[in-house]
């Protein structure tokens, strides 16, 4: 190979003798290093350098395009998975507070629990247990906390069953077991659930942010390669006095096309994801939070009544929780008007319950709070159930919409994730082809 350099170029007459004259002593004195240097010496040497640079840049572009696409695609997929996990954790939370609301409310009626309320409690706990197993297999990073949560729930259910057994025998110690169970849930279980919610919200946020980063990869990679291609073409045009090297220009066009298509499709996918994040995802979060706060309020309504006159702390907790429901429903207003109406109806009954209790009519307040035949049509159990049913329906719809939107965004992406590297190689081969045409002339 080194011999070719001394051959006189057929087209450019002036340059080679200079190069050849300067090269010869170097090649002799510098050994193998000198051979490499010699290889890059003179015009053909520069050509080789440009060839390597442009080909390498093409491959790098291919890698960057592939990386950008797989990153965006991966972020979309993970955003979807993490959103699903978040919805799952919030469903666990909802089921737990809902079960606890049943348990505390049942205490107001004594040992004779309404069968449907008991069934609702059992179903909620069973649903929570199933969701915990699902959540642990879906996100290994959550496994430890979910395990700890399971342990607290075993304690909680044990205490609830003891409370139930004692209540059924008419023993006052049942109420103490119930209080203990409630404090296990509030002090041990729910902080774990809250930690899970926070961690998963952060993960969803990080992935949503990651979707647009894929665009940067493909744009930066594309622009850098195009710059290299343009410099190469310009240099070639000047040096060889030919306007256009077709294969290299085709490589540049391929890079440009890939950059434009890739950039546009990634930008639109990340735009779609952003829309989802600001609309359906926000709505899902708001609805979940509203439901959790609502159950919390309902539990506190019962606890205030159980405390019989010394339940100021629970009444305050009710007010905080109820304000949170209003706040969260307000965030998703326009789409949840029916819910706000249902919640307002419950709040109205609640204020009647409080009114009865604080005017000394505890029994009347309890009848309204537990519902049943004696309560007539407008009791807090019924109005709450109405809110529960319609909010649950809306939550399912909006979390399905998040999953659907993100799947659509992924499906809309062109297959550059796995085509990127082949495209880079094709561009590199085009460069090599185009450059070797010129190099041939130096043989």
Partner 1 sequence: MKKLIPIAATTALLLTACSTGNYAATQIPTKPSPSAAAPPTPTEPKACTDGKDPLASYVPPATLPKPEEPVTGYLKTIRDRKRLIAGVSADSLHLGARNPITGQIEGFDIDMVKAVATAIFGTWEGHLELRVISSPQRIPSLQNGSVDIVARNMTINCERWDQIAFSAEYYRSGQKTLVPLNAKETSVKQLSGKTICAPAGSTSLTNLIKENPAVKPITADSDTGCLVLFQQGKAYGISGDDTVLAGDAAQDPYAKVLTAERFSEEPYGLGIKKGNVDFVKFVNGVLAQMKSSGAWMESYNAWLMPDLGKLTTPPPAVYGRTQ
Where on the chain is the footprint of partner 1 (CB under 8 A)?
49, 52-53, 56-57, 60, 63-64, 67, 71, 74-75, 78, 81, 108-112, 139, 141-145, 148, 166-167, 170-177, 180, 187-188, 191-192, 194-196, 199-200, 203, 206-207, 210, 213, 217, 307-310, 360, 362-363, 366
Backbone angles phi, psi at 10, to 5 degrees: -75, -35
351 contacts 247 by C-beta, under 8 angstroms: no
Min dist. Cβ of residue 179 to partner 1 (A): 8
Decide whether 188 or 326 has the Cβ nearer to partner 1.
188
Decide whether 73 or 280 has the Cβ nearer to partner 1.
73
Min dist. Cβ of residue 34 to partner 1 (A): 17
Min dist. Cβ of residue 437 to partner 1 (A): 22
Min dist. Cβ of residue 14 to partner 1 (A): 28
Kindly state the tokens that stand for 86.
């978040």
Give the number of residues written for the chain. Answer: 443
Min dist. Cβ of residue 256 to partner 1 (A): 20
Min dist. Cβ of residue 386 to partner 1 (A): 26
Min dist. Cβ of residue 246 to partner 1 (A): 25
Decide whether 217 or 346 has the Cβ nearer to partner 1.
217
Backbone angles phi, psi at 11, to 5 degrees: -90, -45
Backbone angles phi, psi at 80, to 5 degrees: -65, -45
Decide whether 202 or 242 has the Cβ nearer to partner 1.
202
Min dist. Cβ of residue 360 to partner 1 (A): 4
Decide whether 34 or 364 has the Cβ nearer to partner 1.
364
Decide whether 307 or 439 has the Cβ nearer to partner 1.
307
Min dist. Cβ of residue 332 to partner 1 (A): 27
Decide whether 228 or 322 has the Cβ nearer to partner 1.
228
SS (H, E, C) the chain: CHHHHHCCCCCCCCHHHHHHHHHHHHHHHCHHHHHHHHHCCHHHHHHHHHHHHHHHHHHHHHHHHHHHHHHHHHHHHHHHHHHHHHHHHHHHHHHHHHHHHHHHHHHHHCCCCCHHHHHHHHHHHHHHHHHHHHHHHHCHHHHHHHHHHHHHHHHHHHHHHHHHHHHHCCCCHHHHHHHHHHHHHHHHHHHHHHHHHHHHHHHHHHHHHHHHHHHHHHHHHHHHHHHHHHHHHHHHHHHHCCCCCHHHHHHHHHHHHHHHHHHHHHHHHHHHHHHHHHHHHHHHHHHHHHHHHHHHHHHHHHHHHHCCCCCHHHHHHHHHHHHHHHHHHHHCCCCCHHHHHHHHHHHHHHHHHHHHHHCCCHHHHHHHHHCCHHHCCCCHHHHHHHHHHHHHHHHHHHHHHHHHHHHHHHHCCCCHHHHHHHHHHHHHHHHHHHHHHHHHCCC
Decide whether 200 or 332 has the Cβ nearer to partner 1.
200
Decide whether 151 or 242 has the Cβ nearer to partner 1.
151
259 contacts 223 by C-beta, under 8 angstroms: yes
Decide whether 149 or 402 has the Cβ nearer to partner 1.
149
Min dist. Cβ of residue 172 to partner 1 (A): 4
């Amino acid at each position: 190979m080194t011999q070719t350099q001394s051959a006189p170029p057929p087209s450019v007459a002036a340059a080679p003798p200079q190069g050849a004259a300067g090269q010869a002593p170097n090649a002799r004195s510098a050994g193998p290093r000198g051979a490499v240097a010699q290889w890059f010496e003179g015009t053909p040497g520069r050509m080789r350098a440009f060839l390597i640079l442009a080909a390498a840049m093409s491959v790098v572009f291919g890698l960057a395009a592939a990386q950008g696409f797989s990153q965006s695609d991966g972020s979309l997929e993970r955003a979807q998975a993490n959103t699903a996990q978040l919805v799952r954790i919030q469903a666990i939370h909802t089921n737990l507070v809902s079960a606890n609301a049943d348990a505390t409310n049942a205490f107001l009626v004594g040992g004779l629990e309404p069968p449907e309320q008991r069934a609702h409690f059992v179903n909620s706990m069973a649903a929570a247990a199933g969701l915990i197993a699902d959540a642990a297999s879906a996100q290994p990073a959550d496994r430890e906390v979910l395990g700890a949560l399971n342990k607290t729930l075993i304690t909680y259910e044990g205490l609830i069953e003891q409370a139930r057994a004692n209540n059924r025998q008419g023993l006052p110690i049942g109420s103490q077991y119930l209080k203990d169970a409630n404090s296990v849930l509030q002090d041990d279980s729910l902080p774990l659930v809250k930690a899970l919610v926070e961690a998963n919200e952060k993960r969803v946020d990080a992935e949503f942010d990651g979707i647009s980063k894929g665009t940067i990869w493909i744009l930066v990679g594309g622009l850098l390669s195009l710059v290299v291609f343009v410099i190469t073409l310009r240099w070639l045009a000047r040096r060889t006095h030919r306007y256009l090297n077709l294969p290299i220009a085709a490589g540049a066009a391929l890079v440009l096309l890939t950059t434009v298509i890739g950039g546009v499709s990634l930008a639109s996918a990340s735009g779609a994801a952003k829309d989802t994040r600001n609309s359906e995802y926000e709505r899902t979060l708001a609805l979940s939070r509203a439901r959790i706060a609502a159950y919390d309020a309902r539990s506190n309504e019962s606890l205030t009544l159980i405390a019989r006159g010394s339940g100021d702390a629970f009444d305050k907790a009710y007010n905080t929780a109820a304000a949170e429901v209003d706040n969260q429903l307000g965030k998703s207003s326009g789409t949840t008007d029916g819910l706000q109406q249902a919640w307002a109806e419950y709040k109205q009954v609640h204020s009647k319950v409080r009114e009865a209790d604080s005017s000394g009519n505890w029994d009347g307040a309890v009848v309204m709070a537990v519902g049943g035949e004696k309560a007539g049509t407008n009791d807090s159990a019924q109005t709450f159930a109405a809110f529960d049913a319609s909010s649950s329906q809306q939550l399912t719809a909006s979390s399905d919409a998040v999953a659907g939107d993100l799947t659509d965004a992924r499906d809309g992406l062109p297959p550059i994730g796995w085509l990127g590297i082949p495209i880079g190689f094709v561009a590199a081969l085009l460069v090599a082809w185009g450059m070797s045409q010129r190099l041939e002339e130096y043989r």
